Amino acid sequence: MTSVTPATLKAWISEGSELAILDAREEGEFGHGHLFWAVPCPLSKKELRARALLPRKATRVVCVDGGEGHAEKLAAYLTAIGYADVHVLQGGTPAWAAAGYVVFTGVHVPSKAFGEWVEHHYGTESLDPPELQALKDSGQPMVILDSRPMDEFVKMTIPGAVNVPGGELAYRIGDLVPDAGTTIVVNCAGRTRSIMGAESLRRAGVPNRIVALRNGTMGWELAGFQCERGVTRSYAPGTPASAALALQRASAFAAEHGVKLITRAAAEAMLADADRSTYALDVRAAEEYAAGHIPGFRHAPGGQLVQATDQWVAVRGARVILADDDTVRARMSAAWLRQMGGWEVFVVEGALDGALETGPWRPVAPEVPQMPTVPPQALAAEAGVTVVDLARSIDFRVGHIPGSVWAVRGRVPKVAGPVVVTAPDPWLAHLAAAEIPGARVLEGGVAAWKAAGLPIAADRTNPADEACVDWYLRPYDRNSGIEAAMHAYLSWEIDLVHEVARDGDARFGAW
């Protein structure tokens, strides 16, 4: 493990060889200022993320932070588990800024900046909320498609919208909108997924008028309109009747941008190649992935993969292999990743021909211990126990065991008496419990507690906004200043194109 100067790291980024920049802070802290190509790998979850983000042990890795010393700890861990080319950025992000380089706020910045680039590059048509309301009032045939995942859609959406996550749009549009005379409006919470969804349909050659809702649900409410909440309208599951047309469209888009098709055997050979970092990702919906996928492929729903690429891919210069059942969704996602730049991208044909794994993806994490557990009913009968909950802060607000304490692993406050740890990911709970003398793990977590009919508490102010170090709060996650935060967020997205140009490390469109 060695340290590198900002100037050295800047030069490495420009070289184009394999490089990963991992930020060791929690994601909320990361969002307040980071390098453009940095990827979050919080110390609290390092065992569950590092190997998936770094599929090859010889890849050059630079660990960064905000100057707190977290980077050195992450680098030491990576070295201990066999990574051979690990470095730490001297002085962290503050030193990067002091050297005159750009520091970015927000999360998923490369993907969001790419969305803004797409709008400028392709001239994506958009309309303002009052224009959408006028279109709705006119009685003209139209549909509104919300391109976010269902967990975001259910919180707030445009009245009448149907949930169709971005990776599903080009695949299902023939069934959803068979008439070319119907106007298609795509929205998200802000800007980029609206743009990417609308432009995906345009690039696929869908003949309708297709527009993005400018500024999404935030713009809708800022304009004085009301969102729907708690609705679950969605597309019909299964293979669409228009799948053949979707394949024709996706094939043309992928070929235009240099996406390469490979057999399943070739994909498996690439994964076994120790000379290149290779990511293997299945872009279908979660239930399809769980029903059967190629062994070793991780789930990464297509729309979110393009919108939040840094959740899955950390190494610049790596290979990315995408799979689904009939290649439509994989080809669409692959074509966008090619334009984002920096990766060699492949799509597997015949991905489901052969032996398959079932169930959700699980990380390789041999360090996870097996700690003592306690079932919900037994815990409810005990007195004097402190429950430490490692859920996301915004999820803890929505529902937690009464009296429990929210925390981040590694920053658990000292409490008197026995401790029981719970987390949505049981592996994280076991890791944290091993660091607390005498701690046990709640079997099945809060979900099992709730299923047992035991009480659940909710408090939108607990933890307070400023304590949410694990999550970069979206404007509507906040407890105050929501309208100002919406304006600031939308301005931030629009300005990303200029900040990216000033930074100079993006290669959008230069594949």
pLDDT, tens only, 421-443: 999 999 999 999 999 999 999 99
Span 20-33, average pLDDT: 98
Peptide bond into 369 cis (omega under 30): no
Residue-level pLDDT at 305: 97
Report the mean per-residue pLDDT for the chain: 97
- Band of pLDDT at residue 507, cut at 50, 70 and 90: confident
- Position 510 pLDDT exceeds 80: no
**Cα pseudo-dihedral 332, 333, 336, 338, rounded to 10:** -110
Q: What is the CATH number of domain 251-349?
A: 3.40.250.10
Q: Which residues contact 50 (CB under 8 A, 6 or more apart)?
A: 22, 41, 74, 77, 78, 81
DSSP state of 258: T
Span 41-52, average pLDDT: 98
Residue-level pLDDT at 389: 98
- Band of pLDDT at residue 400, cut at 50, 70 and 90: very high
Q: How many residues does the chain have?
A: 511
Span 93-109, average pLDDT: 97
- Position 1 pLDDT exceeds 90: no
- Strand 2-4 versus strand 183-187 pairing type: unpaired
| Fold match, 2-107 / 113-240 | yes
In angstroms, the CA 443 to CA 468 distance is 25
Q: Which helix (H) or strand (E) holds 486?
A: helix 482-503
- Cβ atoms 152, 217 nearer than 8 A: no
For 105-123, what is each residue's pLDDT tens digit? 999 999 999 999 999 999 9
Residue-level pLDDT at 342: 83
For 269-307, what is each residue's pLDDT tens digit? 999 999 999 999 999 999 999 999 999 999 999 999 999
- Position 253 pLDDT exceeds 70: yes
Q: Which residues contact 270 (CB under 8 A, 6 or more apart)?
A: 262, 276, 278, 319, 321, 346
| Domain ranges for the chain | 2-107, 113-240, 251-349, 373-467
* Site of tokens 């990361």: 30
- The CATH superfamily of 113-240 is Rhodanese-like domain (3.40.250.10)
Tell me which residue of 200, 27, 68 sits closest to 124, measured CA to CA: 200
Span 475-498, average pLDDT: 94
For 308-367, what is each residue's pLDDT tens digit? 999 999 999 999 999 999 999 999 999 999 999 889 999 999 999 999 999 999 999 999
- Cβ atoms 242, 205 nearer than 8 A: no
**Which residue type, as a one-letter code, is found at position 333?**
S
- Position 265 pLDDT exceeds 90: yes
Structure tokens at 69: 């010393």
SS3 content of the chain, % helix, strand, coil (to 5): 40, 15, 45
Say yes or no: domain 373-467 is CATH 3.40.250.10: yes
In angstroms, the CA 92 to CA 66 distance is 5
- How many CA atoms does the CB half-sphere of 482 hold within 13 Å? 9
- Position 90 pLDDT exceeds 90: yes
* Site of tokens 């055997």: 265
Q: Which residues contact 383 (CB under 8 A, 6 or more apart)?
A: none
Spacing of C-alpha 439 from chain mean position: 31
In angstroms, the CA 454 to CA 382 distance is 13
* Site of tokens 């062994």: 295
- Position 511 pLDDT exceeds 70: no
Handedness of CA 201, 202, 206, 211 (dihedral sign): positive
Task: Name the pTM for this structure.
Answer: 0.96
SS3 letters for 190-244? CCHHHHHHHHHHHHCCCCCCEEEECCHHHHHHHCCCCCECCCCCECCCCCCCCHH
* Site of tokens 């990963």: 20
Spacing of C-alpha 295 from chain mean position: 22
Q: What is the CATH number of domain 2-107?
A: 3.40.250.10
Residue-level pLDDT at 234: 98
Residue-level pLDDT at 351: 96
